[in-house]
A and B are shown apart, each in its own frame.
Chain A
């Protein structure tokens, strides 16, 4: 990185450190932080969409759809989320391959499950066997994103379902009295009003989502946990220019500090948003705000 880094063996102290922290592998680790942020940026809206669909389904007047929505919300309560993460990554992968298998190789005779193997025809493999490395990585990442979206979508569905029920009944009755049908009442009255009730739950969910990002490691993505383990391990002089003892403790201390800062910043920002949204609302918090101002 720097010009004086050409011969690391002669360096000491601060210079050694600045060269060490800018090696190619460390750069990959900093990119992995970007991966985490990208995951959050994609998952948050996707989970919200899943949650909205789930909550709407749970309120549906069509019974099977309602059961499906309620089951989707209920099932995540009793079961550890890590189990879902491990389950969905394999299950989704196999589901996609199976669907492609049925479309691309309709005249395939043998069963897909043969003992302990899951066999699909070559054309149905995802990604294709001859695909470049980055396709494999992107596919793995997309599976992880989808898994996160499904699991956190169920959490969000629970929050939104509660928020929809918290909207005062009188508002909906008024809408009906004005002659709106179910759909109009839902989109024009219920949905705009529910966000204030949903925000505390959603901000809590955002914190939980941040704290769940290290689980990417379990899904086989090369994330910051992977790099911290990789880079922190003891390095022998014959294999690297920067030998050091076992520093994994310090790498994980750095990750801990990173997450603490991240959650702290989120907390401050979310508090501001909440303060702005409660401004002028007829809730206890809004009343307190009004009293404090006068």
Chain B
């Protein structure tokens, strides 16, 4: 069996398209590359949609935490505390069993017990809490002159937020937010190890890497392949966020424009 045939069979295996049976004996390098790469579809899916949706909730949570009104501030603080103070692994388990009992009561919730929706909801809330805290920190460090200038121009309410506060907040938060995005992609590897079932062995990259390591009893091939894919993904994320960073800073004179430093802290 040539490598092209393997790719045709397994490239979309993680979505249930192609050959049903996973390879069982005589594992080739090509099979491992193809299947682990196929699993990356899930990692990108979870990371992309959680980031895009979580961004808006994060902005709302940050504004809530910065608000004077305790009815807005307290819920936002608790939301951030609960999702940042507990392990994501436990959150996945807890959410899965909550969704399971909800499904028992109302069949309407049954999609939430499968990974594509349930895990996405958890990741959405999780990233919203982490980025909410980052945005809150950025809100606190907006230069006083910026808001004073907005007041002097007679801006208020929505236009003050949209034209002055929000862009400045994003600009200040962007390096830390890039870091958060990288970590979110890493966190997506937990999904299929935490209760959410991989139906018909449709799993993510780590699921397949673990499958090969278990079958061949040789961790030195599948895990480095996985590592290679993730380093590539990290570089792509940094590239995209760098482009956005340039756009956010486009009004600054050329020499004051800071390029996004690729110095991701390893700490979320």
Contact = CB atoms under 8 A, between A and B. Distances in A.
Interface of A: 75-83, 86-87, 90-91, 94, 113, 116-118, 154-155, 158-159, 201, 204-205, 208, 210-215, 217-218, 225, 228-229, 232, 246, 248-249, 252-253, 255-256, 259-260, 263-264
- Tell me the dominant secondary structure on chain A's binding face: helix
**Which bucket holds chain B's interface residue count?**
35 or more
Given A213-B87, A214-B90, 8 more contacts: A82-B206, A86-B219, A90-B219, A113-B218, A116-B216, A225-B89, A249-B100, A260-B85
Nearest to A87: B223
| The 3 residue pairs across chains A and B that have the minimum distance between CB atoms | A80-B186, A249-B97, A252-B94
A246 to B, nearest CB: 7
B99 to A, nearest CB: 9
B266 A158 contact: yes
Nearest to B91: A256
Nearest to A247: B97
A205 B165 CA distance: 31
Nearest to A232: B97
B86 interface: yes
A259 B90 contact: yes
A246 B88 contact: no
Interface of B: 25, 27, 81-82, 85-91, 93-94, 97-98, 100-101, 182, 185-187, 189-190, 193, 206, 209-210, 213, 215-220, 223, 226-227, 230-231, 234-235, 264-268
Given A201-B267, A214-B87, A264-B85, A90 B213 contact: yes
B9 to A, nearest CB: 21
Contacts, number: 125
A83 to B, nearest CB: 6
B86 A263 contact: yes
B267 A82 contact: no
Nearest to B223: A87
A57 B163 CA distance: 48
Contacts of A113: 218
